[in-house]
Structure 1
């Protein structure tokens, strides 16, 4: 069968265009390093790359959370270590004051304690990235400062808030050490309430609390069951004469437990598990923590404990004032400072553990990112050496095609006569 010149010409042009398209595509792949430049190049591959890209984007967000949280915790650890050093220095001065030979100039020791107090207050108001480290979730306002009459040092904001950060789809973690747990008094409810108790059942407890001057008060609490898994917590604070510091009874708090595991769900709708009690007129400020209280199918057993009786700021302030008046620190004041030192060490451990956990998560995220990038490269990456060889082959085919066309296509009718 005779092949017409038109058919030869059309076949050549089609073949020529195919080779040119392949050369252009290979050049594009070499230039961009990607096999897929548009969805039509590989619909299945494009779908895989979109999923991988989404996962990589999430990982980058989580890694930024890790980096910011690590910075925050490192600053927290630095502040706590600095506070520990200052308080240890104060404890050492107490030892020196036990020696009568060092009691001739108590004003000197008062100056030293004032300096340590100033440093501790500065560290308590430390900031990182514009956030007060010990400010809880209200980290935009300075948490600690002098009262309006400069007689005491007060907590200026709610320092109970927990800063939680998501590091993976399933992992969230608290990254801050609350100011109340370090510098304030936290009265904790420990033990269990009886899930089988009838409505109206009441659990009463008492605990000593102190004002900023070190005066003792009595905290009375009453936990009344109102419905399944639901209780009302009411409280009062009495002075030394048995008189309430409140002009009217504070509103009761609604406490709800999980019916499945008995864990605390909320206090007045808040899942924090901690709330403040602040009586400015009496300079009383402490927190109540119900996080350790559970509901069980057994007889109720609840007790109250306090992490520290008085805050370190006003304790040191009283010690300094007394020294200037010729009064040595009492055994109770020394014990209060040493108790605070132990509390700081405990919080340092908590911060270190949190930082270690975040470091572990960071390693996991880095490995996940590496694995995802490997998958992306396998799906869309270009082997440059192979691509160059393919390009050379296509260019060779183009040259052969052009030579054959030069021999065949110029022939006319005279060549066949």
Structure 2
């Protein structure tokens, strides 16, 4: 089991950082930022400030920090686990060692004064379907007279290959997609804007340390490639999806936009949030087991629509672990590249208040959701803003902040 290489007892008194801040020394997420007239480069969030990591490393004489001058995290991701751990330990050292304050303070910027960009150049994007509760809910909605789970579901992590080029950073508006749709009562398809636009509250995993084509990543080696996590919203046009997905799966109903949070929280920061998976029965095949205990994550979510919290999903309920997802993704010899991203699939629980999509929350439109202003929604309307927030338990009762992923729906073009 991975442990966090940093000293969790370290403190940074001169930063005037509250002990319970969700972006304290236990979090230290990476992002990409710019200021007026400057090029995007890597920053590290500490409290409500951003450390210009490359400039700080340059002043401190740390040559390996040159990768943080790049406009994305990919060069840093390519270096692998030893470099990631060493960088995390170095960041804590410069932020807590008073003798290094002169290297840090000139390169701290207020969060409100920077512009945040997509943190990684996404090489490939895969989305899984790892929540048993979500898969069961969807099965009951669309196949009420059949078993809700397909026969393969408990034998392998189901997934589809998405579109990397439409992954966008939090705050980017989402244009309502257009395509073919056909209701069960119609005799022929029609064309137009989606009228059943939905969200999927997920956790995204950012991958580094490339592999060669033909080489598998085992469950036991997954930690060497899983760099960190982002909050992820896999926007979904349910009407387009329903008409197109047989026989080859999701396509235009998913590929128009996927939003991720601006900050990538290192997986090392979540070492204290690891917990055992729910019981897997039947036992998965050996390549999905490894030598250790498959682990999940204790990550808590909040889904807000137009200012009303409508759901609080729990990632701990997911059936398949991120290590199992990565092992399955590569078991056929598919290579991974720095900047690969895969999503967990919708995070849902057994109760209505823990469902991570409006398809489930409204039970396919039959049980509309009431908002604080008295309006109701089954699916998203133009002008609606969805915000997904997340956090995990940290050391000594602290919280590890995952930030938010936000998007507003604008009319079809």
TM-score range, shorter chain: under 0.3
- TM-score, normalised to structure 1, is 0.22
- TM-score, normalised to structure 2, is 0.22
- Structure richer in strand, relative to its length: 2
- Structure richer in helix, relative to its length: 1
